[in-house]
Amino acid sequence: MLFGGDQFGARLNGQKERPSGVGFLKQAIQILNERLGDLLQEIGDSTIAAVAGLFIAEVSAPIF
């Protein structure tokens, strides 16, 4: 969620990705990789929502 908010703020100011946004994205991907890599853990709604949020942020990103 922090990544999406940071991306939105950057776009409002006409910027590409901020370094802080890239850091949030890296953390989100690491957490998701851990959750999805554990075969014994069920995939919960929060994991699905996080993947969907990253997908929406990616497809709505403007092409510079």
pLDDT recorded at residue 30: 93
Region 21-26 average pLDDT: 80
Q: Is the pLDDT of residue 63 over 80?
A: no
Name residue, tokens 């949020």: 53
pLDDT recorded at residue 45: 92
pLDDT recorded at residue 2: 61
Q: Is the pLDDT of residue 31 over 80?
A: yes
Instruction: Say which DSSP state 63 is in.
Output: P
Number of Cβ within a 10 Å radius of residue 6: 20
Q: Which two tokens stand for residue 64?
A: 């510079």
pTM given for the model: 0.63
pLDDT band at 9 (very low <50, low <70, confident <90, very high): low
